[in-house]
Amino acid sequence: MPESHQKTSSLPLCYSPVKLDRGWYAVSSVPYLQRSREITFLHTHEYCEFGICLEGAGVFLVGPKILPFQRGDCMFIASGEPHLATSLQNTTSRWRWLYLDETRLLYRESALADLSRFRGPEFRNCFSGEQSVVCSLIREMFSCALAGGIPFQKQKMTALLTLFSIEMHRAFPSCGPGPETASIQRIHFALNEMLSRYGEEISIERLASASSLSPNQFRRVFAKATGSSPQAYLNHLRITMAASMLLRTDLTIAEIALRCGFPTLSCFNRQFRLLRGITPGKFRAGKQ
């Protein structure tokens, strides 16, 4: 086993502290450039995090969830939830990020103050423009934060965050914590390898060995952490990336199939139809 793989497989989740330079929030005044590159870690923050994709497309890995994103999408990531992102191959996406001290802002509304419950396998962190209420509230929060010292700024942000929490409680009433961080960390290397090298041949046996598990143990641990088998997870990731490429690039379907790790076009068509219920050609034509 290469030494680099031994190192990567034992990397802990990284804690990235956020300095709230305004006391109760921090916002990126300059867009963050998210490039397409190999992922070497997952990170977490102590505050809840909101994002808006200004340009580009790619995928977020939030815990074990694979969440495609594109321009106009909004993100919410609860405090302490491990995550990372990468853009489509050879592209760069642009993001703006906002961090809020939810406990400080919502201390008068104890029933709404804990946004950390909105995580886990049932919670979809990425919201499209079609989900107008949630996206509108997130955009309003960014406008409020970027406006600087406007009158009653903190009160307005508190009101917007309250409305956001209400919408989350309505939309995800039974949402709760997902797999423990320790479970995800045991398959950390496997998740990174799949996300970074989905276009290559990936050996389940090598992933198991790098995770210090037998193949059978690895399959059990992986299923417990993600809710699916390693092969099913990898197929889902490949089809997710292929779907983004179909909509966002001019590559031929055959080129996309090859780039996403499918040895033949017929194999790609079969798997795409199995997971999406439609052929790649009709999906690209907007008939999904």
**pLDDT per position as a tens digit, 146-196:** 997 789 999 999 999 999 999 999 988 877 655 555 566 678 778 878 887
> Kind and range of the H or E element at 142?
helix 132-146
Between vectors from CA 114 to CA 77 and to CA 177, what angle results, nearest 5°? 60
Q: 80 vs 253, which has greater pLDDT?
A: 253
**pLDDT per position as a tens digit, 54-71:** 999 998 888 878 898 989
CA distance 181 to 135: 28
Beta bridge partners of 62: 65, 83
State the average pLDDT for the chain.
Answer: 85
Q: What is the predicted pLDDT for the residue at 16?
A: 83
Residue 87 has pLDDT above 70, yes or no: yes
Single pTM value for the model: 0.71
Inter-residue contact 268 to 239 (CB < 8 Å): no
Q: What is the predicted pLDDT for the residue at 40?
A: 65
Q: Is 75 in a helix, a strand, or coil?
A: strand
Structure tokens at 191: 């998740």
Predicted confidence band of residue 94 (pLDDT cuts 50, 70, 90): very high
**Topology classification of domain 181-284:** Arc Repressor Mutant, subunit A (1.10.10)
Of 282, 286, 263, nearest in space to 273 by CA: 282
Q: What is the predicted pLDDT for the residue at 130?
A: 63
Q: What is the predicted pLDDT for the residue at 5?
A: 32
Q: What is the predicted pLDDT for the residue at 144?
A: 95
Q: What is the predicted pLDDT for the residue at 173?
A: 82
H-only helix segments in 20-121: 102-105
Residues in contact with 52: Cβ distance below 8 Å, sequence separation at least 6, in sequence order = 73, 74, 75, 95, 96, 138, 139, 142
Residue 255 has pLDDT above 90, yes or no: yes
Average pLDDT over every residue of 252-270 = 94
Residue 1 has pLDDT above 60, yes or no: no
CA distance 160 to 102: 11
Q: What is the predicted pLDDT for the residue at 38?
A: 65
**Topology classification of domain 3-171:** Jelly Rolls (2.60.120)
**pLDDT per position as a tens digit, 212-242:** 888 998 998 888 877 789 999 999 899 988 9
> Domains of the chain: which residue ranges?
3-171, 181-284
Residue 249 has pLDDT above 90, yes or no: no
Residues in contact with 150: Cβ distance below 8 Å, sequence separation at least 6, in sequence order = 144, 156
Q: What b/e readout covers 244-272, taking b as 16+ CB neighbours within 10 angstroms?
A: bbbeebeeebeebbbbbbbeebeebbebb
Inter-residue contact 230 to 202 (CB < 8 Å): no
Residue 10 has pLDDT above 60, yes or no: no
Average pLDDT over every residue of 133-145 = 94
- Please report, rounded to a whole number, the percentage of residues in the chain having pLDDT higher than 90: 42
CA distances for 191 relative to 63, 115, 117, angstroms: 9, 26, 23
Average pLDDT over every residue of 249-274 = 94
Structure tokens at 175: 């949402």
Inter-residue contact 63 to 179 (CB < 8 Å): yes
